[in-house]
Structure 1
Amino acid sequence: MPWTHNLQHKPGDCMEPTKVQSEGGLNVTLTIRLLMHGKEVGSIIGKKGETVKKMREESGARINISEGNCPERIVTITGPTDTIFKAFAMIAYKFEEDIINSMSNSPATSKPPVTLRLVVPASQCGSLIGKGGSKIKEMRESTGAQVQVAGDMLPNSTERAVTISGTPEAIIQCVKQICVVMLESPPKGATIPYRPKPASTPVIFSGGQAYTIQGQYAIPHPDQLTKLHQLAMQQTPFTPLGQTTPAFPGLDASPPASTHELTIPNDLIGCIIGRQGTKINEIRQMSGAQIKIANAMEGSSERQITITGTPANISLAQYLINARLTSEVTGMGTL
């Protein structure tokens, strides 16, 4: 049986070049992944998919967009390097066009830069940054683009976000340099690709509307959650935000505070507290609850957490604490 020259692309081998042996030498195919917000994806797809169809035809690259009703989507661009650069150029110019259009309705005078977020296996980020930051500095200086490599990995993955911003021309030059680094230093070990999660709880209620938290933003949530909200309203007097008069005459508008206690294993308490208390402060801020963590007791392998606030505050704080524990445990792979 003749030896096949085409090494197939395995799922998860992001950025790893597929080598296709041809008569004329080596032709390198790359896969680059981009992280985009829903609005940006809508701009790339265009009416009835016309924009993305045109981009595919004119660049020659394969452009796939992840499914789902997620606030973030992954756009995968695959093809020989020259087709990838064409596709990137078209995306960068499209985003610039969107910025110009949005500015025609606003009084802003300075034009914001075009920004793209690449998703790169963490094992390749060291090569992108270079010794003491030398490589990333060289990229910034030679292309004029701003390049930032995220310090943390994206949730439940071994990938990091690399943000590039500048003029479309600067971005294209920068992507070319990044591709060269990717080809010179393939990923080490298996890559767990980042998959954006659908909009889901935690939920916040305000003014009769349910919201979910996505990053730093609260996004209106589908109606089934307002049922929870109605239940919460039956239990406690409820005042919409911004309304200072009591919801019921003669009653204090703020719901009575209650207390809930949790016990957490000592070895997991760190992921809830975070570096210098950043995570616990975030949970306090998002939930609106007071959270106290007891000191470690001698001979005990657990720590007590006391949560004080309204029932809604407490359930949100519990949800956020459980979410931290789940991501920590799944991240470790074993419990």
Structure 2
Amino acid sequence: MEEEQAFKRSRNTDEMVELWILLQSKNAGAVIGKRGKNIKALRTDYNASVSVPDSSGPERILSISADIETIGEILKKIIPILEEGLQLPSPTATSQLPLESDAVECLNYQHYKGSDFDCEMRLLIHQSLAGGIIGVKGAKIKELRENTQTTIKLFQECCPHSTDRVVLIGGKPDRVVECIKIILDLISESPIKGRAQPYDPNFYDET
């Protein structure tokens, strides 16, 4: 815990940063909620910018703009929603309620399930920031894995038609959130180098 406390002391908690999370389109509805109820609540409760733009493909991007501590709190709300969304039946032509409606009340999901389950989050980062996460001879990413007790995989290839790479983080929700906060702190201190072409999920490629 000493590492976490030292990290929290060193962070500028008021600095606004932006986080991009890659979602499966079928789970985006659970985050948005019926008539946007869930996403509106997140924006209001945390005074943050939260959006999930439409996409014609199987992926969508969840964008959150706030200070790092607030992003962490929002993720703690969203992760259980996503886990619940994975277990909900897909809507059919005979369904009485769409997926979004089934998941409307999932914002309080963690209160009865707790956080004793494994989850995975896929972050999007500019390719020039990858080195800061990996560190010299992989020292930084190894330290991150050990200190947060998470699995971290940094994909070699950029997403189609973009300069973004995926960072896959797995583990218990609280650990995953702490890892994401540390990564945000690391990359917020590093300027992006070279051309920046954010990933557009409409360019999703199965290969």
The bucket for the TM-score relative to the shorter chain is 0.7 to 0.9
Is the alpha carbon distance of 1:53 and 1:98 closer, same or farther for their aligned partners in structure 2, counting shifts above 3 Å?
same
Corresponding residue number in structure 2 for 1:309: none
Contact 1:37 1:72 in 2 (8 A): yes
- The residue type equivalent to 2:188 in the other structure is L
1:188 aligns with 2:193: yes
Q: How far is the alpha carbon of 1:151 from its aligned partner?
A: 0.6
What secondary structure does 2:35 align onto? Answer: helix
Corresponding residue number in structure 2 for 1:172: 177
Within a 5 Å distance, the mapping from 1:105-120 to structure 2 comes to 113-120=118-125
Corresponding residue number in structure 2 for 1:86: 73
Q: How far is the alpha carbon of 1:71 from its aligned partner?
A: 1.2
Corresponding residue number in structure 1 for 2:206: 215
Give distance in 2, aligned partners of 1:57 and 1:165: 28
Q: How far is the alpha carbon of 1:180 from its aligned partner?
A: 1.3
Contact 1:85 1:176 in 2 (8 A): yes
Contact 1:62 1:77 in 2 (8 A): yes
Corresponding residue number in structure 1 for 2:131: 126
Q: Could you say what the CA RMSD is over the residues aligned between the two structures, in angstroms?
A: 2.3
Task: Select the structure of larger CA radius of gyration.
Answer: 1
Match of 2:51 among 45, 64, 77: 64
Is the alpha carbon distance of 1:155 and 1:101 closer, same or farther for their aligned partners in structure 2, counting shifts above 3 Å?
closer
Q: How far is the alpha carbon of 1:48 from its aligned partner?
A: 1.8
Is the alpha carbon distance of 1:39 and 1:99 closer, same or farther for their aligned partners in structure 2, counting shifts above 3 Å?
closer
Q: How far is the alpha carbon of 1:169 from its aligned partner?
A: 0.5
What secondary structure does 2:170 align onto? Answer: strand
Contact 1:56 1:87 in 2 (8 A): no
What secondary structure does 1:197 align onto? Answer: helix
Higher relative contact order (CA 8 A, sep 6+): 2
Q: How far is the alpha carbon of 1:64 from its aligned partner?
A: 1.2
Contact 2:151 2:171 in 1 (8 A): yes
- The residue type equivalent to 1:78 in the other structure is S
Within a 5 Å distance, the mapping from 1:234-313 to structure 2 comes to none
Corresponding residue number in structure 1 for 2:3: none
Match of 1:146 among 151, 154, 178: 151
What secondary structure does 2:78 align onto? Answer: helix
1:40 aligns with 2:22: no
Give distance in 1, aligned partners of 2:125 and 2:183: 10
Q: List runs of 5+ in structure 2 lacking aligned partners.
A: 1-11, 90-115
Q: More strand per residue: 1 or 2?
A: 1
- The residue type equivalent to 1:56 in the other structure is R
Map Cα deviations across residues 302-331 of structure 1 (whole Å, 9 max, x no partner): xxxxxxxxxxxxxxxxxxxxxxxxxxxxxx
Give distance in 1, aligned partners of 2:56 and 2:184: 30
Corresponding residue number in structure 2 for 1:51: 38
Give distance in 2, aligned partners of 1:35 and 1:47: 21
Contact 1:44 1:52 in 2 (8 A): yes
- The residue type equivalent to 1:157 in the other structure is S
Contact 1:119 1:162 in 2 (8 A): yes
Is the alpha carbon distance of 1:188 and 1:52 closer, same or farther for their aligned partners in structure 2, counting shifts above 3 Å?
same
Map Cα deviations across residues 30-49 of structure 1 (whole Å, 9 max, x no partner): 01111111112111112221
Q: List runs of 5+ in structure 1 lacking aligned partners.
A: 1-24, 103-110, 200-213, 217-335
Give distance in 2, aligned partners of 1:74 and 1:26: 24
Query: What percentage of aligned pairs have identical amino acids?
Result: 31
1:156 aligns with 2:161: yes
Corresponding residue number in structure 1 for 2:96: none
TM-score w.r.t. the length of structure 2 is: 0.74
Contact 2:160 2:203 in 1 (8 A): no
Give distance in 2, aligned partners of 1:168 and 1:90: 10
Map Cα deviations across residues 255-274 of structure 1 (whole Å, 9 max, x no partner): xxxxxxxxxxxxxxxxxxxx
Q: More helix per residue: 1 or 2?
A: 2
Give distance in 2, aligned partners of 1:167 and 1:40: 19
Give distance in 2, aligned partners of 1:137 and 1:30: 24
Give distance in 2, aligned partners of 1:152 and 1:141: 25
